[in-house]
Amino acid sequence: MPGFEIFDESEKQQINEVMDQGFTFRYNFDGLRNGVWKARELETLICETLHVKHAHLVSSGTTALTTALMAAGVGAGDEVIVPPFTFVASVEAIVLAGAIPVFAEIDETLTLSAQAIEAVITSKTRAVNFVHMCGYGGDMDGVKAVCDKHNLILLEDACQATGATYKGKALGTIGQVGTFSFDSVKTISCGEGGAVLTNDSQIYANAHMFSDHGHDHIGQDRGAESHPIMGTNFRISEMNAAVGVAQWKKLDRILAIQRKNKKALKDALAQYPEVSFRVITDESGDNAGFVSFFLPTEERTREVVAGLAEQKIPAVFYWYANNWHYFKNWPHIHHMKSPAKLPIDLIADRPDYTQVKTPKSDAIMSRTISMLIQLSWTEADIKMRIDAFAKIFKNQPA
């Protein structure tokens, strides 16, 4: 991760196939494209690889989340449970769908626990946005059981976990609907892009209509199509999809490299008594896009982060202080800042997000360091990181 590290002639070839036809729009205009349909091709590849019935491409992971919520019937006044550790888009999509984010605690999987979800369910709860952070998820059996018990929609945000599995099932396909991101720094990169995954034919129909102004996509004359529902423009272009076709064909290679490189770092870290690791519920299914580990205290964690920075080790994430991935650092979310009135402003009993506390999550994230696993590393790059660990941890007691 990210996939752009192994761009080569195959991406150029796929783009040239589109350019040679001179048409980049994903729908209709059959006579202009001479059988070249890159969005369709990538959707088919995704379905075949992940054993999911439907995949629908959109313009980003964020638009995939918005589309998934709307397509699954989550909207005005509905509560959606979400973790405090996620990319901010997970919350933005809920708010812009007219729904209400409700924060629940994570555990040492770095994802929502089944118990934490159960603790915040109310009569207004409609869905759980389960975010598979840093390449993997959590106790999906337990989470799904809670969702089924309370008749909740399980939306899997697998934007950081493309290719990961849980007990043989691809993450993003376990709940009613799932999402991927294919932006510039994801496992599979289209430059910009995303996907909605589902085995539910009605959710799929809603998704492809909603993301294209409600077009039903029946027939070959776009101007004659019906509009059963309202929608918006979240379409992916054929150019982005073409890059994705080439990238998706490299998925097995990407995962193999990530897993090899992660193992080297994890094996090196495992010798230090003060280090423990993020809980992975199915090691064989780990995307391995990150290695995440815990230290005993926040103070020691900050020392190690500073030490790695001093040694110029890149792509080290201390999420607890990160502006984009942890709730406590989002004043614009705490105050629901927007250039215009939001639907949530009309809800009298909405949560006061300035008062939301997640102490269990804070205790975990304040001690968590993640390192991005890169595809382009040489043996020397890996050794540099292992040597940095040795320098930082060498004076600690065994």
Annotated catalytic sites, by residue?
A: 186
pLDDT of residue 109: 98
The confidence band for 31, taking pLDDT boundaries of 50, 70 and 90, is confident
pLDDT of residue 254: 97
pLDDT of residue 256: 98
pLDDT of residue 116: 98
- Residue 398 in this model has a pLDDT that exceeds 50: no
Q: Helix H segments across the chain? A: 9-21, 30-33, 38-50, 61-71, 89-96, 114-120, 140-149, 201-210, 238-248, 251-269, 298-310, 331-334, 359-365, 379-393
- Residue 59 in this model has a pLDDT that exceeds 90: yes
Distance between first and last Cα of the chain: 33
Q: And the tokens for 288?
A: 């391995």
Q: The whole model's pTM is what? A: 0.96
In the three-class reduction of DSSP (H, G, I as helix; E, B as strand; rest coil), residue 212 is classed as strand
Asked whether 258 and 188 are in contact (CB, 8 A), the reply is: no
Phi first, then psi, for residue 377 (nearest 5°) are -60, 140
Residue 185 burial class via C-beta count within 10 angstroms: exposed 0-12, middle 13-18, buried 19 and up: middle
pLDDT of residue 21: 84
Residue range 62-77: mean pLDDT, rounded: 98
**Among 134, 247, 143, CA closest to 190:** 247
- Residue 310 in this model has a pLDDT that exceeds 60: yes
- Residue 319 in this model has a pLDDT that exceeds 50: yes
Identify the structural domains of the chain with CATH numbers, from first to last: 3-250 (3.40.640.10), 252-393 (3.90.1150.10)
- For the stretch 10-32, what's the b/e string if a residue is b when 16 or more beta carbons lie within 10 angstroms of its beta carbon? ebeebbebbeeeebbebbbeeee
**Model confidence pLDDT, tens digit, residues 186-227:** 999 999 999 999 999 999 999 999 999 999 999 989 999 999
**Model confidence pLDDT, tens digit, residues 248-263:** 999 999 999 999 999 9
* CA gap 180, 1 in Å, rounded: 14
Cis peptide before 351 (omega within 30 of 0): no
The confidence band for 396, taking pLDDT boundaries of 50, 70 and 90, is low
* CA gap 86, 101 in Å, rounded: 13
The confidence band for 348, taking pLDDT boundaries of 50, 70 and 90, is very high
Mean pLDDT of the chain: 96
3-state helix, strand and coil shares in percent for the chain, rounded to the nearest 5? 40, 15, 40
Residue 5 burial class via C-beta count within 10 angstroms: exposed 0-12, middle 13-18, buried 19 and up: middle
More confident residue, 64 or 31: 64
Portion of the chain with pLDDT greater than 90, in percent: 96
